[in-house]
């Protein structure tokens, strides 16, 4: 029983880590980023290349890849998203436009990765060391994902709710149209939020690459998992993403242990669909 809780939380840590960036992009920058998973995959490949060609330790490569993720996302926002935000007559229109544009972005990133790395499986071994947690042996790299997601999540919550800067971001998320009246630069705030989301996709990619086999076209799997976590947790809610991520990990593990491993994903989608019907705004969402 306890072992399943530990395994479930460790698995959920990965989901939470991957989903936090998306929830910030969607909740604050109001961009539904379907290319999010492909950014994760790009970071996976970047880690792999740095580790195999320059023998840079994947943890050290966080120092390179995470700022790169921030910078790339900043540029993407300026070039692709800003014009859409400016022209959108209402939130619905922006949502549709951003879905379509990031869908295109998904294919571009995927196509570039395919052209460079081909369609084959990539995987390597790092930090695949047993760590004993409350009597259950878990993989060090997966535990790292859980620890990182809790640390980053905690830091984000503190920033969002305790700093002036966080207040600005939250104001933009809640009332994008009235925020400028208070002298808030909504464009800058949204861009920053989008870039932070990109940096977190990069973080997720670096960590995930340590234990998961990836291919150039696997991004959509991450996007969907992250989307489910985001919607479950409530859009824009960092604590929601963490709780929902851990919850999904627990659901998968318990279904695998007590029901049937073949039904783990069906169970996840059932939980998701039922919760969506009962609480359409997610666990931590505001109506």
Partner 1 sequence: MMKTSHGFALAGIAIILLAIAPLIVSDYWTGVLLGMTGYVTLATAWALFSGPTRYISLATVAFFGVGAYTVAVLNEALPYPLVLICAAGIGMVMALVVGLSTLRLAGVYFVIFTFGLAELVRQTVSWWEVNVTYTMGRYVFLPFEGRHIYWQLLALAVVTFLIAWTIGRSRIGLALKALGDDETVAAHAGVDVTRIKLLLFVISSTIITLVGAIQAPRWTYIEPSIVFNPTVSFMTLIMALLGGAMRLWGPLVGAVPLFLLFEWLSVSFPDHFSIILGLLFILIVFVMPNGVLAKIEDLRKRGRA
Partner 2 sequence: MNKTLFEAARLTRRQTACALAALAIAVGAHGVAAQDRDKVTIGYAISKSGPNAGGADMTVTPNYELWVQEVNAAGGLTLPDGSQLPIEVIAYDDRSSAEEVVRAVERLATQDEVDIILPPWGTGFNLAVAPLMAKFGYPHLAGAAVTDKASDFVERWDTSFWFMGGSVDYVSAFTDILVAEREAGRINDKIAMISVADGFGIDLVKAARPSFEAAGFDITYDKSFPPETSDFATILNEAANSEADTFVAFTYPPHTFALTKQAKVASYSPPVFYLGVGAGFPVYPGIAGGSVEGVMSLGGIDPDNELNSAYRAKHEEIVGRAPDYWGSVLIYASLQMLEQTIERVGLDKSAIADELSTGTFSTVLGEETRLENNQLRAINWVGQWQDGQFVAVSAEGGGGTVAAELPKPDWE
Report the interface residues with partner 2, using CB under 8 A.
Answer: 3-4, 7, 10-11, 110, 114, 118-121, 123-125, 128-130, 137-140, 142, 211-213, 215-217, 221, 252-253, 256-257, 260-262, 264-265
Whole-Å CA distances, 189 to 10, 74, 166, 169, 211: 32, 11, 10, 6, 34
Tokens of 85: 């935000």
Which residue matches tokens 């869908």? 103
**For the chain, how big is the Rg over CA atoms in Å?**
19
Q: CA dihedral defined by 76, 78, 82, 84, rounded to 10 degrees?
A: -40
Nearest distance in Å: CB 78, partner 2: 29
- Partners of 136 in the beta sheet? 133
Query: Taking contact as CB under 8 A, which single stretch among the options 40-48, 57-65, 140-148, 257-265 is the one that binds partner 1?
Result: 257-265
Whole-Å CA distances, 35 to 45, 73, 143, 198, 268: 15, 11, 26, 10, 22
Q: Which of 7, 13, 81, 97 binds partner 1 (CB under 8 A)?
A: 97
Query: Taking contact as CB under 8 A, which single stretch among the options 9-17, 94-102, 156-164, 204-212 is the one that binds partner 1?
Result: 94-102
Residue 105 touching partner 1 (CB under 8 A): yes
Let me know the angle formed at the C-alpha of 259 by 255 and 265, rounded to the nearest 5 degrees. Answer: 45
Nearest distance in Å: CB 214, partner 1: 16
Nearest distance in Å: CB 95, partner 1: 6
Q: Interface residues with partner 1 (CB under 8 A)?
A: 32, 80, 83-84, 87, 92, 95-97, 99-101, 103-112, 114-115, 220, 224, 227-228, 231, 235, 260, 262-263, 265-266, 269-270, 272-273, 276-277, 280
């Amino acid at each position: 029983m306890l072992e399943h809780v530990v395994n479930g939380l460790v698995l959920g840590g990965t989901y939470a880590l991957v989903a936090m960036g998306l929830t910030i992009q969607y909740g604050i920058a109001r961009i539904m980023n379907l290319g999010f998973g492909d950014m994760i995959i790009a970071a996976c490949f970047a880690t792999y290349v740095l580790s195999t060609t320059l023998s840079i330790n994947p943890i050290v490569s966080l120092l390179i890849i995470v700022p790169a993720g921030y910078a790339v996302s900043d540029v993407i926002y300026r070039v692709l998203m800003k014009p859409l935000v400016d022209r959108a007559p209402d939130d619905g229109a922006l949502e549709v436009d951003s879905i379509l544009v990031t869908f295109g972005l998904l294919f571009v990133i995927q196509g570039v990765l395919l052209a460079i790395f081909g369609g084959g499986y990539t995987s390597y071994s790092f930090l695949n060391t047993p760590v004993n947690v409350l009597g259950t042996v878990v993989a060090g790299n997966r535990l790292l994902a859980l620890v990182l997601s809790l640390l980053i999540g905690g830091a984000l919550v503190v920033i969002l709710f305790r700093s002036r800067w966080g207040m600005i971001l939250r104001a933009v998320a809640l009332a994008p149209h009235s925020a400028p009246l208070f002298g808030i630069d909504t464009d800058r705030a949204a861009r920053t939020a989008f870039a932070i989301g990109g940096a977190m996709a990069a973080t997720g990619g670096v960590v995930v690459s340590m234990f998961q086999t990836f291919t150039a076209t696997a991004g959509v799997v991450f996007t969907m998992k992250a989307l489910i976590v985001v919607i479950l947790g409530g859009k824009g809610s960092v604590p929601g993403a963490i709780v929902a991520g851990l919850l999904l990990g627990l659901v998968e593990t318990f279904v695998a242990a007590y029901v049937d491993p073949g039904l783990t994903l069906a169970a996840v989608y059932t939980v998701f669909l039922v919760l969506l019907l009962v609480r359409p705004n997610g666990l931590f969402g505001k109506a």
